[in-house]
Amino acid sequence: MEYIIRIVNLKKRFGQKEVLKGVNLNIVRGKTTVILGLSGGGKSTILKHIVRLLVPDSGEVWVEDVNMATADEETVFRMRKKIGYLFQSGALFDSMNVYENVAFPLREHTKLKEPQIRAKVEEKLRLVGLNPAEVLTLYPDELSGGMRKRVGLARSTALDPGIVLYDEPTSGLDPITSDLITRLIKKTQENLGATSVLISHDIKESFKAGDYFAFLYDGRIIEYGDKEQFKNSQNPYVRQFLEGRSEGPIKVVR
């Protein structure tokens, strides 16, 4: 088993709140790993450390042979080119239309000429089920939530990165579009041998997409396994989560 990302004893607090208390997680190259856990538990915080949008209080975040926690800026820039990131919010540039948004990483990281950029942008939009002719000139505030998410997805995969981090790619989408996106994640992984890290609250979609599953609870990964192992986990916290019960060892404060 070859690991492309290795997170070692990652700790992070925000003020008084200790969010990550020692996360250990290895991501298998060429496969999809799903991180599940409660809302507010720190899943997005883990992803942000992988691209060094956050610096850990302690611990290591290895991507290939680079520790992102301590790498210099030039190395971070070089590594980010290999990592696509679909932000939970979509995070499009409001002042740019759809075309400019999807073209942005191509302009930033490649020397492609305009016709090639245009072809790539259109291809990526079609893959996420959007019609280029209809959406290219629209601005983010003219898109529905689900369209914004899909434009974000087109942008995060524009460079055909070897690693893609998907933070809730299907939230807010109808079940059919969700299935399209899940298939796209699968296809990207299979065709390009890409590694995916997927955060999702949609258990059904994550079981369609995922090869390996990690459960984050109370600042640590408390369960990890392949699909069969995870589905059959006897960990009471995992069971409660998978069965969607508010009664159990996990107390949700209201």
Ligand X SMILES: Nc1ncnc2c1ncn2[C@@H]1O[C@H](COP(=O)(O)OP(=O)(O)OP(=O)(O)O)[C@@H](O)[C@H]1O
> Which 72-91 positions form the footprint of Mg ion (CB under 5 A)?
88
CB of 92 to ligand X, least distance (A): 18
CB of 232 to Mg ion, least distance (A): 27
Q: How far apart are CA 223 and CA 156, in angstroms?
A: 29
Segment contacting ligand X (CB under 6 A): 1-9, 39-47, 113-121, 130-138?
A: 39-47
> Which 83-122 positions form the footprint of ligand X (CB under 6 A)?
88
Q: Among ligand X, Mg ion, none, what binds residue 14 when CB lies within 5 to 8 Å by partner kind? A: ligand X
Tokens 């496969």, located at residue = 31
Segment contacting ligand X (CB under 6 A): 2-10, 14-22, 71-79, 105-113?
A: 14-22
Segment contacting ligand X (CB under 6 A): 37-45, 131-139, 150-158, 180-188?
A: 37-45
Contact call for residue 206 and Mg ion (CB under 5 A):
no
Contact call for residue 44 and ligand X (CB under 6 A):
yes
Structure tokens at 10: 């990652």
Contact between 128 and 181 under an 8 Å Cβ cutoff? The reply is yes
CB of 41 to ligand X, least distance (A): 4
CB of 169 to Mg ion, least distance (A): 12
For ligand X, the closer of residues 24 and 88 by Cβ is 88
Listed in sequence order, the residues at least 6 apart from 28 whose beta carbon sits closer than 8 Å to its beta carbon are 1, 2, 3, 4, 195, 211, 212
Q: Which of 161, 223, 155 is nearest to 192 (CA)?
A: 161
Q: Which long-range contacts (CB under 8 A, 24 or more apart) does 157-160 make?
A: 157/84, 157/124, 157/127, 157/188, 158/84, 158/102, 158/103, 158/104, 158/105, 158/106, 158/120, 158/121, 158/124, 159/81, 159/84, 159/105, 159/106, 159/109, 159/110, 160/192, 160/194
> Which 33-52 positions form the footprint of Mg ion (CB under 5 A)?
44
CA–CA distance from 3 to each of 21, 27, 31, 95 (Å)? 22, 5, 10, 38
Q: Among Mg ion, ligand X, none, what binds residue 41 when CB lies within 5 to 8 Å by partner kind? A: ligand X
Q: Which of 8, 11, 18, 19 binds ligand X (CB under 6 A)?
A: 19
CB of 172 to ligand X, least distance (A): 12
Residues that bind ligand X (CB under 6 A): 14, 17, 19, 37, 39-45, 88
